[in-house]
Amino acid sequence: MTNEDERLIKLTNRTISDLVFDKIELQKAYNIYNGKRDAEQYKYLEDNFGIGTPTSVEFTPLVRKHVDAMVGEFLGTPILPKITCKDKETITNIQREKQLKIDAQFKEFLSHHLQNNILKFITGQAMDDASIKRQLDQLMEDIEEDFISEYEVAAQNIIQYIL
């Protein structure tokens, strides 16, 4: 082996040893679940109260019952499959539907804004258009975030019907 190979092997071994470490919290949780006491955790009882070996005192595993009950509750929950659309034509139709909804919402918003400004103009009030861009951006963001296409609704209804 060359020096370069040895250096790479040492570097690889050091990297692996940095990634591999004792999972103390996981081990403690496992011990609590199985009713084993942690000697370090109860060492103060030996030092302060002279109880001898508190880890030898019987430990009733109360946590196990609760964890098992929660796991059983979780396993009893039905799994609802989700549908997604992947073909180009459906995705194009979904994007088109989303854009039409955005356009309709923009039209409605701008129509109300125009009516309000016409009324303000007629009554002689000052018109303020500084916030319209922010409101339109917020409207578009809300639609992007909450949009559910008719394709997705129909597919999910089919899944629920089958279940």
Q: What is the pLDDT of residue 50?
A: 59
- Those residues whose C-beta lies under 8 Å from the C-beta of residue 105, and which sit 6 or more positions away, are 139, 143
State pLDDT tens for residues 118-149. Answer: 877 777 776 667 677 788 888 888 888 888 88
The mean pLDDT of 53-77, rounded to a whole number, is 73
Do the beta carbons of residue 13 and residue 20 sit within 8 Å? no
- The pLDDT > 70 percentage for the chain reads 85
State pLDDT tens for residues 79-107. Answer: 777 777 778 888 888 889 888 988 898 88
Residue ranges of the domains in the chain?
3-76, 88-162
- Can you give the pTM of this predicted structure? 0.43
For the chain, give the mean pLDDT: 79
